[in-house]
A = this chain, B = another copy of it.
Amino acid sequence: MTETTGYSGGGFVHIKNPHLDSMEEDILYHLDLGTKTHNLPAMFGDIKFVCVGGSPNRMRAFAQFVQRELGLAGAGEELPDICAGSDRCAMYRAGPGSPSHGMGIPSISIMLHELIKLLHHAKCRDVTIIRIGTSGGLGIEAGSVVITDTAVDSSFQPRFEQVVLGDVVLRSTELDKDLAEELLACSREIADFPTLIGHTMCTYDFYEGQGRLDSALCSFSSEKKLEYLRRAYDAGVRNIEMESTAFAALCGLCGLKAAVVCVALLDRLEGDQIRASHEVLWEYQQRPQRLIAAFIRQRLGLGPKGPTH
């Protein structure tokens, strides 16, 4: 069974669930928000950009960074975690909303279902959603930023397998091509790191699924690993992470224009362990944030800001 992507009219988020209308209250459990306990349109109705990422600390830093970059009121102050009552997700607001989703498809999927319902309940329009994160690079320099054109699975196919009541449903993982090109154009403003467009492979784990030799269990040789990673490279894969296919599939079906922008922490053709210092890794992690801040500034007509260090 294959489902097709349909962008909806009016710019609203497209909720494909007939049951939601008949619910008296919708509790967004992992966000610790609800339609009866919170005025979601007042809190979130003006949202245009949502950035999601795996790590709560990184998303807090990003919200503070965007607040400074866009010259918003309250810059420099501590930002409250909107989901403070939940330790499953964290969410910060700084113009755009920036929730954290933990690691892996199940974790981002929970957050996205509740986030998309939140945008629906809040009557948001024309929302752009961007996942920023970290990844392993493939044949690219550590520190490079990859803008995903298509998310692919471990067989390099542009599809996501969703289990529904025990049956597998195949979903498309296309992302918005224009948005990817717009982000690439923005990257030219920031000259001190390489940015490229490529396929992103999404796996179900970090060790065996990504062909690492340093797992607790390893049944393959270094040669077999490299042969697999080279096949991925030849199929157009430039980085590997653990959320992009589910993110692309769910956002696409719900009519959200979506992008994935991840920095590569290492080149997997060169090794498996992440050996760079905390300082270097921290600077790498800021690169997607700097690109997205430049993109939002441009969309808001604020113009380039000069060096964004």
List A residues at the B interface (Cβ < 8 Å).
3, 15-20, 23, 25-27, 29-30, 54-58, 85, 87-88, 102-107, 109-110, 112-114, 116-117, 120, 154-155, 162-166, 169, 203-209, 211, 213-220, 222, 224-225, 228, 242, 250, 253-254, 273-275, 278
Contact = CB atoms under 8 A, between A and B. Distances in A.
A148 B64 CA distance: 44
Contact of A217 (B23, B206, B224, B254): B254
B104 A228 contact: no
A215 B154 contact: no
Contacts of A105: 104, 106, 204-205
Given A105-B205, A205-B110, A218 B17 contact: yes
Contacts of A278: 85
A113 to B, nearest CB: 5
25 contacts: A17-B214, A17-B215, A19-B218, A19-B222, A26-B273, A27-B274, A29-B273, A29-B274, A55-B87, A103-B106, A105-B106, A110-B205, A110-B206, A110-B207, A113-B216, A114-B216, A116-B216, A154-B163, A154-B166, A155-B166, A163-B205, A164-B208, A164-B209, A166-B228, A216-B254
The 8 closest A-B pairs by CB, nearest first: A104-B106, A17-B218, A116-B216, A19-B213, A165-B228, A57-B87, A109-B205, A103-B107
A215 to B, nearest CB: 5
Given A20-B214, A88-B103, A217-B250, 12 more contacts: A19-B213, A19-B222, A23-B214, A27-B273, A102-B104, A103-B107, A104-B104, A104-B107, A163-B205, A164-B208, A165-B220, A166-B228
Nearest to A111: B103
Contacts of A104: 102-107, 110
A184 to B, nearest CB: 28
Contact of A163 (B17, B57, B163, B204): B204
Given A105-B204, A275-B27, A117 B216 contact: yes
A206 B106 contact: yes
Given A27-B275, A165-B228, A228-B166, A215 B113 contact: yes
A54 B88 CA distance: 8
Contacts of A107: 102-104, 106-107
